[in-house]
Amino acid sequence: MSVRNPRLPLLPGYGTNPMIGKTRFGVRPVFTSIDKVNMLVDKAEGVNRVPSLYCRKQAPDLPTWIMYDKNILRFQAFFQQSLHEMRSGSHILRKVEIFFFLEDGTIKVMEPKTENSGLSQGTLISRQRIRLPFSYDNYYDVLDLNIGREVTFFGKVFKLVNCDNFTRVFLNRLGINVPDPIPWPDAIKRGTDRGKPPKHRPFRQFLDFDRQVLRFHGYWDDRDSEFGIMHLLEIHYFLADDTIEIKEVLPPNSGMEAGPMFLKRMRLPRKIPSHVEMTGGPKCPSYSPADLSIGAVINLYGRKVVLTDCDPFTKEYYRVTYGFDSFNPLPIPKDEGTECVSTSVAERQLPPWNGYGSYDDSAENCRTVEPKPPHRDFIKFLNKDRVGFDSHVLRFAARLISDNPEDKLRYFIIKYFLCDDTIGIFELGERNSGFKGGKFFRRDKMYLPDVDFFVPKEPPAYTDKDMWVGNELIINKHCFRLIGADEYALRYMEVNENEYPMANLALIMDKIRRTLATQENGYKNFVAKYMDAAVPDNRELMSVRCFKQALKEVMCERMTEHEFITLIRHFRGDPGKEKSPRREMIRSLVFSDLTRGLWDERVKLREALLHADANGLGVLSVPRMRQLLRANRLPINTDLMDCMLQVLNKDSDCNIVYEDLLSFLDFQTRPVYNLTEGDYQKVVRHAPPLKDTECKLWAETETIIQEGFVNWNAFLCQLNLENLVKEQTQ
C-alpha cells in the first residue's frame, strides 16, 4: 500500500509507503465528550501553519502542475561576453530570451539565431531549476524575475529589459509592479572613441563616386636645376578610391618624348614617409579633395606642383560640396627657352572641284594623301537618325512646274532626311500616263540653283529651312512646288517651331498683328467685314474658305501656304457634322478591299471583340485589335490596316474604341463617301503606294484648306487687338 502525494504526478516512484519503519499497527482511539456524551472520534488533521490568501471556493485545491500547465513567463534580456582576441572592443552584447515555467519553477535560456554571426546560438541553458547565488536550498522563483533586475545563471549576469503581455498581466495580478521596458543597449547613443579612426568603407565610396574624376591643370617649375624646363601637368583625382595620377602635357614641336605617365595612379602622401608602412599599422595621411584647389601647391615627392585651373565638372563639384564660388585661373609663367612662337595659320585653301565624284569626296581626298571616305557629322546622325517610329524624315507632296501639259499632271514625293541633309525624290506613277514612276532623283545633297560648283568652298545646298508648303525647289533644272506635307512633317515642324519660322504660331500671329496695327481701322474693318461669315448655328466657327480669303485680303502676298496650314491646324473647329477626309478615304479603300474579298463576317467580329473585352471597358489595345482583325481574316494588307487603326477613336491611354471600328465597317447603314475624279486625283495622287510601310494620305493637308471650319472666336482672342479697336473708335 502506498500513499500518493496529490501535489506530485501519478507516476512510478512518486508515491510513499507509510508502513515502512512502523512497529505498532494498532488503531489509537481518541475519546472526547460532546454535550456531556462520551464518544469515540477520528484523529483530527493538522492545520497548515501558513494561512491561505483565498477562500477554498475561489482557489480550488489543485496541484501546480495542473493549474499552471503550459503557462510560461517570457522575459527579454542580454548579457556581456568578453572578447580577448579582438582589439577593437572588449566585449559584445548578446540578446537572449528567458522562459520561466510556472508548473514546476524551471528556467530555460535561449538566444535567437542570427545568420553568419559566428556564435554558437540557440539553447544556452537547458530547462532546469536554477539555484540562487551562494545558496544550496533556495531556487529562483517568480518574485526574483522582473524588468530592470539582474539575475545570475551559472556565473553569467543577465539584465532583464522587457517581457511579453501575458507575463506583465500575470505579475500585476499577483500585486507585483512591472516597470516600463528598457531600451536595448544598441539603441543607446554612444560617443565615438577619440583614439579610434573613422571607419573606412571603400566599397561604398566606389559605388557612390565611380567614374567621377577631378581634373586640374598645373605646372612644375624645374628651371632652377641644370637644363630644367617648365613642365605642364594634368592632375587627375579619382574620387572612387582617393588616388591621383599625373601626366605631362608636352608643348607642340618640343622635340621631347612623353613617357607613359608622370605619376602612376596611387595615393599621394602629404609628407614623404620615413619608413615603409607596416601591415595593419596606421597609414600615412594622403591628399584629399579638400587639399586641392586653384592656387594650391601639392608636394609630389619633393616637387612643388602648382594647380592653375580645373574643368567644369570639378568646378561644379567644389561649388556643391565646399561652397566655392571663385574659380579664376592662375597665369602660367612663360618659359622663353622652350616656348614656340605662335603664328596665325591661315585656313587651308582647297583647289576647285574638278567634277569627279561628289564635292565632299573630292574635298576629303585633297586634305590627306591617303584616300578616305567623306567625313560625316556623326553627332547629327545619332540625334536625327531613326529612333523607333520616329523616322526624322520630312515628306512633302510636290508637283512639277512645266510648260508641258503632260508634266503638269505628274506628282512626286520629296523626302528630306534630317540625319545627313539629303533629299530623295520619288514619282507617283499612274496607269496609261506614259511615266513609270518610282525613283526620280536618288538620295543626295541638293544644291541651290545658279551656283558655281568649281570653287574652293562648298556651294550652298537646300536645308530643312527651305522645306515648307508653297515653296518652289529647283533641283537639277526641274522646278518642284511643294503642295502638301504628311502629318509627321507638320507635327515635327510645329514641335520644333524655334527652328521653323513657317510653323511658329507666335511669329505668324505677330505678323498679322503688326499688319493690322499699321493699317487705318484695319482690325475694326477686318472684324466687321467677316463677322457675318460665321456659321449660323455656331457663331464661333467660320469656314476655312472664308478664313483664308480674309487673311489673304489683309496679308496679300506676305503670308505663305504653310503659315495658312499652321493657323488652320491650330484653330481647327469641329461642329460635329464634318467628316475627316482622311478617315473617309481610308474607309473607301477598306470597303473596296472587303468587297473584292467577299468578306461579310461583321457579326463574328463583334462576338470576338466582346469576348476579348472581359472587363467590359469598351476599348482594346492596338496590338490586341490587330490580332483580332487578322484572326477574322480581313482581306486588307497590313499597311492599310495600320492606317485604319490610326484614324479610329481612342481613349486617353491610346486604346481603340471597338464600337467605332464596328461603325467604321458598317457599310450598309453608313454609306461610303463617294470620291469624285478631282478628289481622287488630289487624294490618291498625293498618297504613296500602299506597299510603303509608312503609308500617309496626303489629302488631308490640301483638302483642309478648302473644307472644314476654323474657330474664329479663338483666333480673335489670341490676336488680342481689342484695345486697338477702342483707340480707333475714340
* Residue 191: per-residue pLDDT: 45
Quick one: pLDDT band at residue 729, thresholds 50, 70, 90?
A: low
| 3-class SS string, 680-728 | HHHHCCCCCCCCCCCCCCCHHHHHHHHCCEEEHHHHHHHHCCHHHHHHH
Taking only the tens place, the pLDDT of each residue in 435-479 is 888 889 999 999 999 888 888 788 899 999 999 999 999 998 899
* Residue 45: per-residue pLDDT: 53
* Residue 718: per-residue pLDDT: 81
pTM: 0.46
Quick one: pLDDT band at residue 338, thresholds 50, 70, 90?
A: low
How far is residue 87 from each of residues 84, 91, 97, 407, measured CA to CA in Å? 8, 10, 29, 97
More confident residue, 631 or 721: 631
Least confident of 37-51, 170-184, 712-726: 37-51
Q: Is the pLDDT of residue 576 over 50?
A: no
Taking only the tens place, the pLDDT of each residue in 642-679 is 888 888 888 877 789 988 898 888 877 766 655 544 44
How far is residue 341 from each of residues 253, 254, 335, 338, 345, measured CA to CA in Å? 11, 12, 11, 10, 12
* Residue 707: per-residue pLDDT: 61
C-alpha grid cell for residue 532? 457675318
More confident residue, 82 or 670: 82
* Residue 579: per-residue pLDDT: 47
* Residue 3: per-residue pLDDT: 57
Residue with cell 608622370: 262
* Residue 678: per-residue pLDDT: 45
Least confident of 193-197, 319-323, 468-472, 627-631: 193-197
Cα maximum dimension of the chain: 161
Least confident of 55-69, 114-128, 173-187, 595-609: 55-69
Quick one: pLDDT band at residue 146, thresholds 50, 70, 90?
A: very high
* Residue 459: per-residue pLDDT: 86
Q: 265-300: buried (b, 16+ CB within 10 Å) or exposed (e) per residue?
A: eeebeeeeeeeeeeeeeeeeeebeeeebbbeeebeb
Taking only the tens place, the pLDDT of each residue in 505-561 is 889 888 888 888 777 766 777 776 766 666 666 667 877 888 888 888 888 778 889
Domains of the chain by start residue, with CATH: 3-41 (no CATH), 66-187 (2.30.29.170), 202-273+285-321 (2.30.29.170), 372-485 (2.30.29.170), 501-575+714-729 (no CATH), 581-707 (no CATH)
Least confident of 34-43, 46-55, 373-382: 46-55
Quick one: pLDDT band at residue 6, thresholds 50, 70, 90?
A: low
Average pLDDT over residues 700-721: 67
What percent of the chain shows pLDDT beyond 90? Answer: 27
Cα–Cα distance between 639 and 140 in angstroms, integer?
A: 89
